[in-house]
Every structure is written in C-alpha cells, then in structure tokens.
Chains A and B, each alone.
Chain A
Amino acid sequence: MTFVIRMALREIRASWRRLLFFFVCVAVGVGAIVALRSIIQSMRTGLAHEARALVGADVAILTSRAWTPEVRRDLDARLADAPILARQELIETPTMVRPETGQGAAIAKMVELLAVQPAYPFYGRIVLQDGRPYSYDLLRDHGVLVRPELLAQLGVRAGDTLVIAGRPFTIRGVISQEPGRRVGAFSFGSRVIVGYDDFQATGLLSFGSRASYQILLRVRDDGVTPLVTTLRREFRDRFVGVRSYKSTEDQIGDDLMRAENYLSLVGFVILILGGIGVWSVTRVFVRQKIRSVAILKCVGATTAQVLSAYVVQVVFLGLAGSALGVALAKLAIVFLPAAVAVALGGVRYGLTASAVWQGVGVGVLVSLLFSLVPLLEVRRVRPLLLLRGGTGAAAADVLPSWWTAAGIAARLARIDWLQAGAAVFMSLALVAVAGWQASSLRAGLIVCGGFAAVTVVLHLASSGIVWAVRPAARARSFSLRHAVLSLGRPGNQTRVILLAVGLGSFFVIGVRAMQTNLLRQLTLELSGSGADMFLIEILPPQVDAMRAFLTPRKAPDAPDPRLVPVLRARVTGVRGRTVNLSSYEDVRARGSLAREYTITYRSELEPNEKVIAGRFWTGEPPLAENAQPAEVSIEKSLHVRFHIDVGDTVRFDIVGRPFEATVTSVREVQWSDARNGGFMFVFRPGPFARAPQTWIGIVKAPDDPTARGRLQRDLVERFPNVSVIDIREILMTVQRALDNVSLAISVVGGVAFFSGVLILIGAVAMTKFQRVYEAAILRTLGASTRMLGAMLAFEYAGLGLLAGVIGAAGALALTWAVTRQVLDIPWYPAPWTAAVGAAATTVLVAAVGVGASYDVLRRKPLATLRAE
C-alpha cells in the first residue's frame, strides 16, 4: 500500500504541470456546481423564512371578482367557527396615475395599486426610504405611498399630488421594501399603496373589473391547515382561492429545489465537459507512461499495484481539483455583483456545506469515471516492450475490411471486454450521478442521452471530415497537406477537440440565436401599423365617447381604433359527443380548461381567423337577448386539446351567472398576428347586451413620446377608470428581463465554452510531445518556422471551423425546435449570429492551437532528437 501511495505522489510531483490541466477541468465543473447550488440554497433559506410575509398572513382568501353578498355570508359563517385572531381585507388592481401639476403632468403611468386596511401588514413590514416607521396614518385622508421609480418616471417628489381615479392623493412616503412582493414577479407597473376606504370611495372598481380581492387572516397555528382544507373544499367551485403561508413555503421550497436541481445539472454538464478533458488527459498520460508501467512490471509490480497507483493519483487530483473548484465558487459568490444579488432576492449568500460536499463528491466521481477506461490500458502493457525499445503502442495491423465476416471477427477479437464493460459501467454511473444532481432519473437520462447523441454526431462528423479532407492530402501546399495528415494521425485529438469546442460553441451560439429570435418576434409585433396601446376597463357607456376621443389622436396613418367588449368567464361543464364534463370538478380535471377565459362577442370574423369546422354567423342578425342556448365559436386548440366539437353544448359561469351556449363553429386563429384579437371563445351578439362587461380599446398611438404621453394623460383625465397598457413600455420591460436571462445563460454558456477552450489547450498540450518530435524532424529536413506555423494554423483552423459549424448547426436546430415546437412563433435562423459564432470559434481555436504549440515552433531540433 505504501508503494501505491508513494508512487502516486511521485507521479504527481513529476507530472503536475501536465496534470494541472486535469484538475483545472475538474475545478471549473465543481466550481459551477458549488456556486450555483450555494446561491439557490442561500435563497431558499432566506426566502423560506419570509413565507408568512410573502402571503402577508397565515391564511389568505383570494378572488378575482368582487365578493358577492352570498359568498361573503358563507365565508363569514365558516370563519366564525375557526380560531381567527385577526382579519383584514385588501384589494390589488392595475390602474393609471398621473401627477396633478408640474413637468410630469403630461404623463400617466400604469401602476399596481394596493388598497390596505389599518392592520396591514400582519407579517413583514413596509420600509420607507427616509427611515420613518410606517403607520396607517400616512395613508389616512388620501395619502399614498409610492416606489422611487414612479417618482422618477413622473418627475414628482414626496409631498406632491397624484391623481388616481380622478381623485387627488398626496405622496406621503417612498417605499423601499414591502412585504409579499415576490422576486422577479411580473407586474404591470410599480407599487402604489393607498387606504382601503379612500380607494372604495373613488368608485374605480365596477362589476367585472380586473382586480384581486383578498381577505387576510391571522389564525392560531393549529387552525391553519383545517381552515385551509375546509375553505378549499367548500369554495373551490365559487372561484375562491385559499393560500396559507405553509403552502407558500412548500411552493417556494419546491420551486427553488427544482431550480437548484436544474442548475446543478447545468453545472454537471460543465463538469462532463471537464470530464472529457480528464479522459483525454488520462489517455495521453497513460500512453506516455507505458514505458514506466513496463519497467514497474519488470521489477515485480503487479497490474493491480500499478493500476492502484494511478487510481490513487486520480483521486488526489480529483480532490485537489474539487478544492480549487470550491475556492473558485467562493470567489464567484464574493464577487457576485450587488445588483444581481438584489435581483435574486437580496439574501445573504455564502457557500453551503451541502453544496460543497456534493460538488466535491461529484468532482471526484467524475474524475474517477472518466479516467477509468483509459487507465485500464495499463493492464495491456507488457514488460517485453522494454527489450524492443518501442513505445508499446499496439502495432497498427492491417485488418480485413470491416464488412466481411473475418473483418468483424478480427475487430471483435480486439475489443478489450473489461474496458468495454468499464465504459458501460461509466455510462450508467454518469446517468446515476446526473440523476442524483437533478433529483430525477429521467432528467439524468435525458442529459446523458443528449450528450451521447451529440458525441455520436460529433464522432461521425469528425470521421466524416477526416474522410472528406483526404483529397487535400494531395494539395500543392506542403503545410496544408501535412495539416490534413495531422487530423487523421494515430492518437489524434480531433474528436476530443470537436466534442469540447463544438459543445461550447453550441451553448453560446444557441443562447444568442434564441435571444435574437425572441427579440425579433417582439420587434415584429411593434413594427408596421400594428396597435401598440391597449386600453382596458372601458365601461359600456364610455364606448362611443372613447371612439370619438381616440380617432383624432391615433397615429396619422393607422387604422381606426378598435373597441371590443370583453367578459370574463369560466367553463363549468361540457355536454358533447366525445366529451362530457358534468361539473366544474370534471372541468378542473382537464387542467387549463378550468382557467378564467376572456370572451367577447361580435358578428364577423377577424382577418387573422378562419373557420375550419361548422359555420360562423357572419351576416346573420344578433340573437335575442334571452336566447338559450346562445351560440359560441371556439378556437381550434380547444377542439384539439379538449375534444370539444361543433354541436356540443358548453356551460359557462359569466361573472357569477350560469350560461349555456352551443358550439356552432371552430376557428383557427393566426396567433402570430394576434393584435387583431385572439379569443378562445367568441359569442354571437345578442345575449350579452346588458351583461356586466368592460371594453378594451386597441389603437396605434403616435410614435413621438411626447404625443404618446399627452394621449395617456388626456385619456386618464377624461376616463379615470380606464387603464392604459403601453406595449412599447411592456416590451422594454420584457427586453430587459430577456437581457438579464440571456446574460445569465450566456455566463453559463461562457463557462461551458471556457471549459471547451481549456480542453482544447489540454488536448494540444497533450499531443505536443508527438508534434515536437515531428517538427524537429521536419526542421532537420529544412522546414521553416513559418511553414510549421502554417501547418498548425491550417490544422486548428480546420478543426475550429468544423466545431463552429457543428455548434452553429446544433444551435439553429435548437432555436427551430424551441420557436416552432414550444413557443409556436416564426423561426428566424439568425444567420449572422451563427456565422459570426462559427467564425469566432475558428479564429479562437486556431489562435489557441498555435499559441499552445508555441514551443513546438521554438524548440531547437537537436535537443528534441537527442532526447528521443
């Protein structure tokens, strides 16, 4: 045993420079795993403590429609039996605000308004920027608290007056922190807090308005779960949701756990890239060590002893690499930009013990697994080779062609079954490790399967390229000829380099191309004469006035503004030929069919619609107001997913009223042109004429920001209840979010690419001993440094080009799959991104290849030849 450990240590001492690369490969992967896992775990610990603050109560009862007297009565009856300690209500709704006077008076902004009662908040606290404690007194008599960004947007200060729903409110404080605001949650605007009674007095909310009504409860701890269970059971069919801090805790926990596992999988992918580097280093290392192994065997060492010495060495290196990885992770977390930390929830970040152990464990495992197969070569080394003075590399016998029986037999006889078995074991173990990291065997299988597929593609591609460039071996240029020969030399690193760099460039180009696709889609939405401003909550009596107001103010050459009635409805049952859902319970079992739909009624098809089954009522008169059943046209996806068909009867709950309609047609909506309206359910006009409803306005506003601002301001002044959604602003928010996401993915992709480059450097360094010798011979025969340099440049540029092209092709396939299959938006191949990516990969690989071979070019031939 002492021999094994001593030999391992001596080998590390002698070859640490060559093996440096081994543990850098491990370090990058382990660093990624530890850093990603630690960040998420810190977040989880930080946020789980705030679960009560996130809900704002022990139990929250929510609905998206105003409490009806019946629901309230039944709720109160239920709550009377429960151990309630305190109760309060709040309302949250998007609305418009504008300054009363001053330079910002020409602008109106959409905000997320929160109307609170004096007891707010039960948990967590509102922190004001100037450090004053929050109290409800600040909101009394039309006081308002706002976020700093709104001050900047509107050009107002504390003490100024904002107009909300036509009433003046005084800014009494600036919110720096509020309870319950979820990290990264999407919102229409910044938070504004007002008093509940003042808000009710504005009369902003009409029946059917888009708002969230909440009852917050403080409940004795043992009463939380029974209360939640009872409320959920009894009020589910009345569209009342119930949340408790416990369920939120679980949900945050689950979300973050999933995030942690998936991010760890990303780290694992990087580590696999590192593992490929480890494999390549070990392979070349073993080849260089063949003579030493033969000597050891000659002086009495058994195969097991020699193998153990190298395995111990690998474990040492794996541990050292993992330790370096942990240090890198620590550094990354220390230097985590403050802005990113805040965006991630503003908790304290540090390495967590479990992340460190997992990282180190996976690091050592991957080192062992990837070095096992090449290390087994040691078994085949015979001490006899010492008598022959050869390198011990197996003689390249000429085998019969592979498609003949003799050829197959000869190749089968050559297979080292133990090594093949080890390779199978390694693959299974990798699936297990990936499964462990993702906490899902399926995810592990998918990742490893993906890797295997990419490896096969790259392997075939590299065989293909070696074959395809063979004619160039007869090229006139000496350098080109030799570069081509080098690609196919025995023991070449073509495949390893292609795999490492190809995967890296696939990551980076893929992310960029995806981003280009999404942004292009969004910009397309904006360009042309498309509408870019949506008005919501228009009341039926305001429709004509609104049309008159908008028409002269729209963009000069834009079509007339469109006003569309909308109602909110849920499907509570379907009676049909192939599907029969008799209760809301049944509907809910069908998943998204149970969601709340926005519906409309009109007499014609829109330009982006076509009927694919049944008949639309174009040109027919409206139905009678009390016609039962009414007529409805459904979108194709409802037909495809839920098998609702022409002739079926669908039962709805429309703002509290049951309503039946017969499906008379199925429409296909061109969603890519959805600004003309995309509704899943369109009703034949008639029955809703007097139903509580609001209208939405769709208009293209002038491009000039001042004119847009003026339009919004006038609109809010004239119609205080109407909210404006400026698509341009939303688009900018989305673009910022997208930028952040793609930055994050780019960083991960960058790390992957960096590992690819590392592996490239390692592969170059590994084959250097062979090249140095060749270069020395060529030099003796009269080759110039320039010629040798050109040879290297041709070879690596060729490899780089291939890796880049494969990466780019993979990236295009990825974007195609995501855009067409997942997002269902048009695919844009992003040719420039792909071309620039492939070109950059070529240049980078050529530069790294030639740079890493610098001493091949520099070394004096005599010294090299003498050493051989």
Chain B
Amino acid sequence: MIELQGISKTVPSGDASLTIVHPLDLRIDAGRVVAITGPSGSGKSTLLGLIAGLDAPSTGRVVIDGTDITALSEDALARFRGARIGFVFQFFHLLPSLTAWENVRVPLEIAGVSGASARADALLDEVGLSPRRHHYPSQLSGGEQQRVAIARALANDPPILLADEPTGNLDSATGRQVIDRLIDVNRRRGTTVVLVTHDAELAALAEVTVALRDGRIVSETAVSRAATS
C-alpha cells in the first residue's frame, strides 16, 4: 500500500517560489491499477517522482508498505527502489551502451540476484522480445524499447510499477499494446501499477483515476474493472 500524507512540492523560481504540488493525501491500495491524469503542468510527473522517491517532498511523508521513504538516504532509497519499485519512463531511458538483454539484467546484477541470465531471458520472452535480445536500444523501435523497459522494471519482481506517460512517445496502436502489457502484469502478478497519462482513453483502463489540476487533486474516481474490460 502507498500512502501520501500531506505531501507537497515547492521549488524556488527566481526570488519567489512556485508550488507544483499543494499538500495532498492519497492512498493507493496494493494490487490496483491507478491512473494519474491532468493537463500539462498539473504536477502529475512530480507526484509520481515523489512516490518513487526520485524527489524529496517539501512537506509530508510517503509511506510504502509501512516504510517512510522520505526518511531514507539517497543510497537506501536506491536499494529500496531496486527491490520494491519498477519504473517505466516516457522516453524509455534504456542504457544506450547495453543490449536489450543486458538492460534487463542490470537491476538483477545490482541486487546481486543469482540466475540473472535465465530471468532476463524469461522477462524478454514475456514481453515478446526474445528474438531481439542482443539488439541495442538504437536498433529497436519505440514500442520495442518500451517493452524492454517494462521487462527491466519487472526484473526484481517489484510489488509496485510506476509508469510516467508510458505511451507518450508511441503511436496509439503500440501504446495500446504497452498498456495491455502493464495491465497484464497487474493481473498476473498482482503488481500495483501507477501510471501518469493525459490520455483519457488510457486512463479509462485503470481501476482508479486521480485527476490533478494546478497541483491539487480535483477528482478521484473508481471504475470497476469489469465495466472497462
């Protein structure tokens, strides 16, 4: 379970300061698919970054499964992310100097997990990229790169998967495949999936939609999975 308690983010802007996220509370139950939506500049990605511990909040706490991650050091956070959180980016962010297979292996190696090779094979197989495992990111299409990124995010079998505009750089058909893949992960593994999108159609696939505007939650709607699928 992810709990945001009175979380806010303010950054200095010249002599003044700018609040990107106003103090807010949010609770995301384990095993849910949650979409954070809102127009550009509404604070979606900042909120996701705070959940992942990629950024420190100005006020409030982020508690994940009982751990207050705002109290962790940078390295403890890195280890926490390695074990508990998978992240998928809009710009894929694969390591350009590594092959698809090596990219998937990296989190396993960092965690010092044994059997990394077999696991990387299985994950690439799962996202349908086994034949392209020795290709470099520059040799893959956008959709393929994003699927490698998903495989990488799942490497350590994290209970939470965060995705920042995962389809933002893809055409709609490929984007749909990627979303299907994420929902599939949720169904098969029970992984909590939090995705940021400004695409209403994609958001509709989630069980819960949190709408942001100017750094404030304007609505939080639960949709029954049965109705959407």
Number of residue pairs spanning A and B whose beta carbons lie under 8 angstroms apart: 85
Task: Tell me whether B54 and A302 are in contact (CB under 8 A).
Answer: no
| Residues of B78-106 whose CB lies within 8 A of A | 78-79, 81-83, 87, 89-91, 93-98, 102, 106
A326 to B110 Cα, complex, angstroms: 36
Task: Tell me whether B48 and A300 are in contact (CB under 8 A).
Answer: no
B112 within 8 A of A: yes
A296 within 8 A of B: yes
A331 within 8 A of B: no
When distances are taken between beta carbons in the complex, the residues of chain B under 8 Å from A384 are: 49, 54-55
A337 within 8 A of B: no
B71 within 8 A of A: no
A243 within 8 A of B: no
A11-B97, A384-B49, A384-B55 known; A296 and B79 CB under 8 Å?
A: no
Task: Tell me whether B81 and A296 are in contact (CB under 8 A).
Answer: no
Task: Tell me whether B49 and A387 are in contact (CB under 8 A).
Answer: yes
A2 to B110 Cα, complex, angstroms: 9
Q: Smallest Cβ distance from A2 to chain B, in angstroms? A: 7
B74 within 8 A of A: yes
Task: Tell me whether A387 and B48 are in contact (CB under 8 A).
Answer: yes
Q: Smallest Cβ distance from B51 to chain A, in angstroms? A: 11
Task: Tell me whether A292 and B54 are in contact (CB under 8 A).
Answer: no
Q: How many B residues, CB 8 Å from partner?
A: 35
When distances are taken between beta carbons in the complex, the residues of chain B under 8 Å from A297 are: 78
A388 to B165 Cα, complex, angstroms: 12
Task: Tell me whether A299 and B152 are in contact (CB under 8 A).
Answer: yes
Name B's interface SS.
helix
Task: Tell me whether A386 and B54 are in contact (CB under 8 A).
Answer: yes
Task: Tell me whether A389 and B87 are in contact (CB under 8 A).
Answer: no
A300-B82, A301-B78, A387-B45 known; A291 and B109 CB under 8 Å?
A: no
When distances are taken between beta carbons in the complex, the residues of chain A under 8 Å from B79 are: 300, 302
When distances are taken between beta carbons in the complex, the residues of chain A under 8 Å from B49 are: 384, 387
When distances are taken between beta carbons in the complex, the residues of chain B under 8 Å from A332 are: none
A3-B112, A386-B93, A389-B90 known; A299 and B54 CB under 8 Å?
A: no
Contact with B along A1-30 (1 / 0, CB 8 A): 011001100110111000000000000000
Interface size class of A (residues with CB under 8 A): 20 to 34
Contact with B along A285-304 (1 / 0, CB 8 A): 00000011011111111111
| Cβ contact of B54, chosen from A7, A298, A300, cutoff 8 A | A298
When distances are taken between beta carbons in the complex, the residues of chain B under 8 Å from A388 are: 45
B144 within 8 A of A: no
A516 to B211 Cα, complex, angstroms: 81
A382 within 8 A of B: yes
| Residues of B126-155 whose CB lies within 8 A of A | 152, 155
B111 within 8 A of A: yes
A144 to B98 Cα, complex, angstroms: 79
Residue of A nearest to B102 (CB): A10
A386-B54, A387-B89 known; A300 and B81 CB under 8 Å?
A: yes
A296-B106, A299-B87 known; A14 and B96 CB under 8 Å?
A: yes
Task: Determine which residue in A10, A15, A386 has the highest number of CB atoms from chain B within 10 A of its CB, and name it.
Answer: A386
Contact with B along A386-411 (1 / 0, CB 8 A): 11110000000000000000000000
A383 within 8 A of B: yes
Task: Tell me whether B81 and A14 are in contact (CB under 8 A).
Answer: no
A15-B97, A297-B78 known; A387 and B164 CB under 8 Å?
A: yes
When distances are taken between beta carbons in the complex, the residues of chain A under 8 Å from B155 are: 299
Task: Tell me whether A304 and B75 are in contact (CB under 8 A).
Answer: yes
When distances are taken between beta carbons in the complex, the residues of chain A under 8 Å from B90 are: 389
When distances are taken between beta carbons in the complex, the residues of chain B under 8 Å from A10 are: 97-98, 102
When distances are taken between beta carbons in the complex, the residues of chain B under 8 Å from A389 are: 90-91
Q: Smallest Cβ distance from A13 to chain B, in angstroms? A: 7
Task: Tell me whether A292 and B78 are in contact (CB under 8 A).
Answer: no
| Cβ contact of B107, chosen from A11, A291, A300, A382, cutoff 8 A | A300
| Residues of A284-338 whose CB lies within 8 A of B | 291-292, 294-305
Task: Tell me whether A291 and B110 are in contact (CB under 8 A).
Answer: no
A248 to B152 Cα, complex, angstroms: 72
Task: Tell me whether B109 and A303 are in contact (CB under 8 A).
Answer: no
| Cβ contact of A299, chosen from B46, B82, B97, B102, cutoff 8 A | B82
Residue of B nearest to A303 (CB): B75
B8 within 8 A of A: no
When distances are taken between beta carbons in the complex, the residues of chain A under 8 Å from B82 are: 299-301
Q: Smallest Cβ distance from B94 to chain A, in angstroms? A: 8
Q: Smallest Cβ distance from B149 to chain A, in angstroms? A: 10
| Residues of A11-61 whose CB lies within 8 A of B | 11, 13-15
A303 to B76 Cα, complex, angstroms: 10
B156 within 8 A of A: yes
Q: Smallest Cβ distance from A451 to chain B, in angstroms? A: 34
A390 to B152 Cα, complex, angstroms: 22
Residue of B nearest to A379 (CB): B74
Q: Smallest Cβ distance from A389 to chain B, in angstroms? A: 6
A302 to B81 Cα, complex, angstroms: 10
Task: Determine which residue in B55, B89, B91, B98 has the highest number of CB atoms from chain A within 10 A of its CB, and name it.
Answer: B98
When distances are taken between beta carbons in the complex, the residues of chain A under 8 Å from B96 are: 14, 292
When distances are taken between beta carbons in the complex, the residues of chain A under 8 Å from B156 are: 300
A298-B87, A387-B45, A387-B49 known; A3 and B93 CB under 8 Å?
A: no
Task: Tell me whether B111 and A300 are in contact (CB under 8 A).
Answer: yes
A10-B102, A300-B78 known; A291 and B97 CB under 8 Å?
A: no
| Cβ contact of A292, chosen from B45, B74, B95, B102, cutoff 8 A | B95
A15-B97, A295-B95, A299-B82 known; A383 and B54 CB under 8 Å?
A: yes
A387-B54, A389-B91 known; A299 and B98 CB under 8 Å?
A: no
Residue of A nearest to B164 (CB): A387
A6 to B74 Cα, complex, angstroms: 23
Task: Tell me whether B54 and A14 are in contact (CB under 8 A).
Answer: no
Task: Tell me whether B109 and A6 are in contact (CB under 8 A).
Answer: yes
A384 to B112 Cα, complex, angstroms: 24
When distances are taken between beta carbons in the complex, the residues of chain B under 8 Å from A386 are: 54, 87, 89, 91, 93
When distances are taken between beta carbons in the complex, the residues of chain A under 8 Å from B112 are: 2-3
Residue of B nearest to A299 (CB): B107
A457 to B193 Cα, complex, angstroms: 58
When distances are taken between beta carbons in the complex, the residues of chain A under 8 Å from B109 are: 2-3, 6-7
When distances are taken between beta carbons in the complex, the residues of chain B under 8 Å from A302 are: 75, 78-79
When distances are taken between beta carbons in the complex, the residues of chain A under 8 Å from B89 are: 386-387
Q: Smallest Cβ distance from A308 to chain B, in angstroms? A: 12
Residue of A nearest to B90 (CB): A389
Residue of B nearest to A388 (CB): B45
A77 to B40 Cα, complex, angstroms: 109
When distances are taken between beta carbons in the complex, the residues of chain A under 8 Å from B78 are: 297, 300-303
A291 to B96 Cα, complex, angstroms: 10
When distances are taken between beta carbons in the complex, the residues of chain B under 8 Å from A387 are: 45-46, 48-49, 54, 89, 164
A305 to B106 Cα, complex, angstroms: 12
Residue of B nearest to A300 (CB): B82
Task: Tell me whether B110 and A3 are in contact (CB under 8 A).
Answer: yes
Q: Smallest Cβ distance from B14 to chain A, in angstroms? A: 8
A386 to B54 Cα, complex, angstroms: 9
Task: Determine which residue in A15, A295, A299, A384 has the highest number of CB atoms from chain B within 10 A of its CB, and name it.
Answer: A299
A299 to B83 Cα, complex, angstroms: 9
When distances are taken between beta carbons in the complex, the residues of chain B under 8 Å from A13 are: 97
A292 to B81 Cα, complex, angstroms: 16
When distances are taken between beta carbons in the complex, the residues of chain A under 8 Å from B74 are: 303
Task: Determine which residue in A2, A298, A301 has the highest number of CB atoms from chain B within 10 A of its CB, and name it.
Answer: A298
| Residues of A355-402 whose CB lies within 8 A of B | 382-384, 386-389
Having A299-B81, A299-B82, A387-B164, one finds 7 other A-B pairs with CB under 8 Å, namely A14-B97, A296-B110, A300-B83, A300-B107, A301-B106, A384-B55, A387-B45
7 residue pairs from A and B, CB less than 8 Å apart = A2-B112, A3-B109, A296-B95, A296-B110, A298-B87, A382-B54, A387-B45
Interface residues of B (CB under 8 A from A): 45-46, 48-49, 52, 54-55, 74-75, 78-79, 81-83, 87, 89-91, 93-98, 102, 106-107, 109-112, 152, 155-156, 164
Instruction: Give the 7 A-B CB pairs with smallest separation, nearest first.
Output: A300-B82, A14-B97, A3-B109, A302-B75, A299-B107, A384-B54, A384-B55
